[in-house]
Amino acid sequence: MLAGKQILVLEDETLLRKGLCRFLEEDQRAETFPAGSLEEAKNLLQEVHPDFVLLDIHLPDGNSLDLLENPGFPETTVVVVMTAQGGVSTAIDAIKRGARDYLSKPVEPEALPVLFRRLEKESSRRRIDQYREENRASLHKGFFIGKRLGAIRGQLDKILQADRRLQSNLPPVLIEGETGTGKTTLARWLHQSGPRSKEALIEINCSTLPESLAESELFGHEKGAFTDARQERMGLFEAAAGGTLFLDEIASLPLSLQAKVLTAIEDKRIRRLGGNRSRPVDVRLVTASLLPLKELVAGGRFREDLYHRLNLLNLRIPPLRAYPADLPDLAEHVLADLRKRYQQADLVLSDRARGRLLQYHWPGNVRELMHELERSLIFSDSCRIELDHLPGQSSPPSTEAAAPDLLNPAWRLPASGFRFEEELHRLTETVLKGALESEEGNVSAAARRLGVSRDFLRYRLQQSSG
């Protein structure tokens, strides 16, 4: 059955067009949009995002393949061309341009449901396979085990052993650690190394979800659930069914939505926004948080019941500065990828740069190291990486006093003392601007990251700029 699906029927022959639409609507309960010309189809596509398209090639006002040349269809739309007898070569050309299959006229309406379902399943599998290949290509980029991750390797092995025994209804995993430590890469590694590696891995950073759309993104919605809900939509929990759903920065979710996540974990069922029917979902949930959730619970900013449910399997990734011995080998690991990407087989790290690796405390962890190495490669005039752009090492001292690095565990109060109020103001400004920069200027996301209100953040930023 194609109930609820939107199908565009672009066909010049009125009787055939009407017959196809009648069958799809009455027998299959689909929603059809008939068009007899390119102009009609283009107008419809401004309002409709069809699941399937039946496309006649020759139309009164042009060739419908123009729609494939200049895509007017969403990426997920399945296009089937219809061609008169003897037009196989034209149909094959259409497939090369993006159509998924073709039918010879006269078209038998009864064949459409089976064809559409087969093509939809193939499209879904292709997207999953493509996503998996992209993941495999980047899985180990910057992900170096070393002593730092060796500290949690025993936990990882035990989790994977339990996963293989269970196969389904896998318990949630919570990954905590500073920014740039590799939480996302570890989540991907868990998925690829576990029994669900052949299924989908769906990722979302919760801090990027607008509060008004977060529930729909995670749980889907029914047609008419809100003003712009013109068709039903599957949420991320459903999309990840049988596979893994990774919710990064889960603490950014509103408390009300955290309750619905808890219900989904405990009942293994979800209900779409605006829907009455609950749907079973078997999802391995992996979550991550920059800030320790236990502290957020104590401050009333995260649900205690959800925390205890997520904290069943907790992985805490140590910061890079805690394992300085890993730095040279990790840098070589990253350089191996850069040599391949930039086609510079003779790329090396200078002795001077190796010294700088150990002098710097890397507040941005592995991500910062990767970026610094790539930046040095791009701006270098030779094949030697010098790390001249590391903060505070190659630049001349500023005439304006810099804020003290109070966030560095190695910092100590200077013997000469300092002006407390003035330095506290500078430190606050550094933290606020750092949060805003990490969220690419998104004030709401930065405020959630800091655990303050949006108005407070705006007020402090205005003060510092004034």
202 pLDDT band, cuts 50/70/90, is very high
Give the pLDDT confidence of 275-332 residue by residue, as tens digits: 888 888 999 999 999 889 999 999 899 999 999 999 999 999 988 888 888 888 889 9
Overall average pLDDT of the 59-87 stretch: 78
Please say if the pLDDT value at position 126 is more than 50: yes
128 pLDDT band, cuts 50/70/90, is low
Lowest-confidence range among 78-82, 130-134, 285-289? 130-134
Q: Residue 161: its pLDDT value, please?
A: 93
Q: Residue 448: its pLDDT value, please?
A: 79
Considering the chain, what percentage of its residues have pLDDT values greater than 90? 26
Look up the CATH superfamily of 6-124: Response regulator (3.40.50.2300)
More confident position, 65 or 37: 37
CA-closest candidate to residue 168, choices 197, 147, 141, 195: 195
Average model confidence (pLDDT) across the chain: 82
Place of tokens 């309002």: 47
Residue 376 to residue 369: CA distance in whole angstroms: 11
Question: Where in the chain are all domains bearing CATH 3.40.50.300?
Answer: 152-318
Q: Residue 203: its pLDDT value, please?
A: 93
Give the pLDDT confidence of 87-107 residue by residue, as tens digits: 677 778 888 888 888 888 888
CA-closest candidate to residue 167, choices 70, 284, 265: 284
Q: Residue 458: its pLDDT value, please?
A: 75
Q: Residue 315: its pLDDT value, please?
A: 94
80 touches 53 (CB < 8 A): yes
Q: Residue 124: its pLDDT value, please?
A: 67
Give the contacts of 222 (CB within 8 A, at least 6 positions apart): 229, 232, 272, 273, 274, 275
Question: Where in the chain are all domains bearing CATH 1.10.8.60?
Answer: 321-385
318 touches 144 (CB < 8 A): no
Give the pLDDT confidence of 382-415 residue by residue, as tens digits: 888 888 777 654 333 333 334 445 555 556 666 6
Please say if the pLDDT value at position 11 is more than 70: yes
Long-range contacts of 449-455 (CB under 8 A, 24+ apart): 449/207, 449/249, 449/252, 449/290, 451/291, 451/296, 451/299, 451/301
Q: Which fold has domain 321-385?
A: Helicase, Ruva Protein; domain 3 (1.10.8)
More confident position, 74 or 309: 309
Residue 454 to residue 447: CA distance in whole angstroms: 5
183 pLDDT band, cuts 50/70/90, is very high
Q: Which fold has domain 400-466?
A: Arc Repressor Mutant, subunit A (1.10.10)
Q: Which fold has domain 152-318?
A: Rossmann fold (3.40.50)
Q: Residue 142: its pLDDT value, please?
A: 41
54 pLDDT band, cuts 50/70/90, is very high
- Sequence letter at residue 421: E
- Sequence letter at residue 93: D
Count of positions (residues) in the chain = 466
Q: Residue 130: its pLDDT value, please?
A: 57
Q: Residue 393: its pLDDT value, please?
A: 45
Residue 10 to residue 5: CA distance in whole angstroms: 16
Q: Residue 401: its pLDDT value, please?
A: 37
Q: Which of the 8 DSSP states describes residue 233?
A: B
Q: Residue 291: its pLDDT value, please?
A: 87
Most confident option among 171-175, 398-402, 412-416, 438-442: 171-175
The reported pTM is 0.59
Q: Residue 138: its pLDDT value, please?
A: 44
Question: Where in the chain are all domains bearing CATH 3.40.50.2300?
Answer: 6-124
Taken in order 428, 433, 435, 438, the sign of the CA dihedral is negative
Overall average pLDDT of the 362-382 stretch: 89
Alpha helices for 58-200 (secondary structure H): 66-69, 88-96, 112-138, 146-166, 183-193
Q: Are strands 6-10 and 52-56 parallel, antiparallel or unpaired?
A: parallel
365 touches 320 (CB < 8 A): yes
Q: Residue 409: its pLDDT value, please?
A: 55
175 pLDDT band, cuts 50/70/90, is very high
Q: Residue 268: its pLDDT value, please?
A: 92
Count other Cβ atoms within 10 Å, centred on residue 426. Answer: 17
Give the pLDDT confidence of 222-281 residue by residue, as tens digits: 887 787 777 778 889 998 989 999 999 999 999 999 999 999 999 999 999 888 888 889
Structure tokens that stand for 453 in this block:
């209100």
Q: Residue 400: its pLDDT value, please?
A: 36
